[in-house]
């Protein structure tokens, strides 16, 4: 394994760091409130960073999302790249790729996903979908949603055709509740024969292919959001280090105290574990290797260790960390939201254990 960024990946990461650093400031985030920063999203798309994901791969996307996480920038970068760009590029039909990819790259199409921790959606006649996805991140910004039905088929739904109601989450992710009632949808990859989907003989369909597409998109999402969590944790820890080096108690910086050093060291090791497991899963996908177990491992670290790190960041700020207006509190909210979105650690660990127990882990 070699996680050294390529020249293109490093250039994209550095450009992302500059844009996020310049535009996703504390004052700007405070003024934005819980909404998406439309100007920042436009700047990212205009700079070609969304389009670059096709070339830099999932590992490159993880590097970009780390930079977003450091500043908790309020844009649908992860969702649109995972559920839109990478999903359509890997599994869309030639017509879907030609029609959607350029518009996803320039930001005129924003895609979110109703896959993780969702259920209760069923495909009816000719692909019409019915059911509810209680929480869809960035739904208020999305033009399309990638929805999984109860058979694990993936469908693209236009938000204009569905009912979308705002939902407030722990973090300001412009989320919403998606309600479908016979809503028209197009299957990712296109229809096999255009027939009535209630009458298709599902024994004829390559079940392994359907499961593979679903598993790949879910594993990609887990890896990408774990990378985002690595950035959130790194940003939280950086703020804590800066605070404890300048804040004095009894004439000495807080950072000089052994208890503070040990707590920060534990947080650093947790952050590195999140980062490296996300890198491994992303690298394996880019190399065409099985990575389901690695994606679950990254998700477990992001969930379990991520919430420890953001709690540490807030704790090391003392009373300032309890201030809802303090920048470190934003990292705390994002860390807890990502913990919930990826699934609590015990749930992810159970799924990983079942994968190993049933001998489904490939090397």
> Phi and psi (nearest 5°) for 7?
-60, -40
Residue 213 has pLDDT above 90, yes or no: yes
The per-residue pLDDT for range 144-179, each reduced to its tens digit, is 999 999 888 999 999 999 999 999 999 999 999 999
How do residues 257-268 score in pLDDT, each as one tens digit? 888 899 999 999
* Cβ contacts of 347 within 8 Å, gap of 6 or more: none
pLDDT at position 195 over 50: no
What pLDDT band is residue 318 in, cutting at 50, 70 and 90? confident
Q: Does 343 have pLDDT greater than 70?
A: yes
Q: What's the pLDDT tens digit per position in 15-63?
A: 999 999 999 999 999 998 889 999 999 999 999 999 999 999 999 999 9
Q: Which pLDDT does position 199 carry in this prediction?
A: 46
Residue 200 has pLDDT above 60, yes or no: no
pLDDT score of 196 more than 60: no
Find the mean pLDDT for residues 332-353: 90
Over residues 113-133, the mean pLDDT reads: 79
Whether residue 140 has pLDDT greater than 50? yes
Predicted confidence at residue 346, as pLDDT, reads 81
Whether pTM > 0.85 for this model: the answer is yes
The predicted model gives 315-342 an average pLDDT of 90
- Rounded mean pLDDT, 224-231: 98
Would you say 235 and 69 are in contact if contact means Cβ atoms under 8 Å apart? yes
Mean pLDDT calculated for residue range 245-251? 80
Q: Is the pLDDT assigned to residue 363 strictly greater than 80?
A: no
CB contact at 8 A, 134 and 147: no
Q: Output the pLDDT for position 127.
A: 61
Q: What is the mean pLDDT of residues 177-184?
A: 94
pLDDT of 203 strictly over 50: no
Q: How confident is the model at residue 184 (pLDDT cuts 50, 70, 90)?
A: very high
Q: What is the pLDDT of residue 125?
A: 62
- Would you state the pLDDT for residue 362? 67
Residue 122 has pLDDT above 60, yes or no: yes
Residue 306 confidence (pLDDT): 96
For residue 222, what pLDDT is reported? Answer: 96
pLDDT band for position 205 (cuts 50, 70, 90)? low
Average pLDDT, the chain: 90
């Amino acid at each position: 394994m070699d996680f050294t960024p390529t020249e293109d990946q490093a250039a994209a990461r550095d450009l992302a760091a500059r844009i996020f650093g310049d535009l996703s400031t504390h004052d700007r985030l405070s003024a934005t409130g819980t909404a998406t920063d439309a100007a920042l999203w436009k700047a990212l798309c205009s700079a070609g960073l969304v389009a670059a994901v096709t070339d830099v791969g999932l590992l490159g996307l993880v590097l970009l999302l780390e930079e977003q996480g450091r500043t908790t920038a309020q844009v649908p970068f992860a969702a649109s790249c995972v559920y839109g760009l990478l999903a359509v590029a890997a599994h869309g039909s030639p017509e879907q790729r030609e029609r959607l990819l350029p518009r996803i790259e320039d930001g005129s199409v924003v895609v979110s996903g109703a896959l993780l921790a969702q259920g209760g959606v069923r495909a009816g006649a000719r692909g019409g979908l019915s059911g509810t996805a209680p929480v869809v991140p960035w739904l208020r910004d999305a033009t399309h949603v990638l929805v999984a039905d109860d058979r694990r088929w993936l469908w693209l739904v236009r938000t204009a055709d569905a009912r979308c109601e705002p939902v407030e989450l722990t973090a300001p992710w412009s989320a919403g509740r998606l309600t479908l009632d016979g809503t028209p949808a197009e299957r990712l990859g296109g229809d096999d024969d255009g027939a009535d989907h209630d009458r298709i003989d599902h024994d004829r369909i390559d079940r392994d292919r359907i499961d593979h597409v679903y598993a790949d998109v879910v594993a990609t999402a887990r890896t990408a959001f774990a990378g985002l969590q690595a950035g959130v944790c790194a940003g939280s820890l950086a703020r804590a280090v800066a605070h404890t080096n300048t804040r004095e108690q009894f004439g000495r910086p807080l950072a000089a105290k052994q208890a503070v050093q040990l707590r920060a060291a534990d947080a650093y090791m947790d952050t590195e574990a999140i980062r490296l497991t996300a890198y491994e899963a992303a690298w394996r996908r880019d190399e065409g290797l099985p990575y389901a177990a690695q994606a679950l491992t990254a998700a477990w670290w992001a969930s379990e260790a991520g919430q420890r790190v953001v709690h540490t960041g807030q704790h090391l700020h003392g009373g300032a960390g309890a201030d809802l207006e303090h920048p470190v509190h934003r990292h705390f909210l994002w860390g807890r939201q990502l913990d919930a979105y990826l699934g609590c650690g015990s749930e992810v660990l159970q799924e990983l254990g079942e994968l190993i127990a049933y001998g489904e882990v490939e090397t």
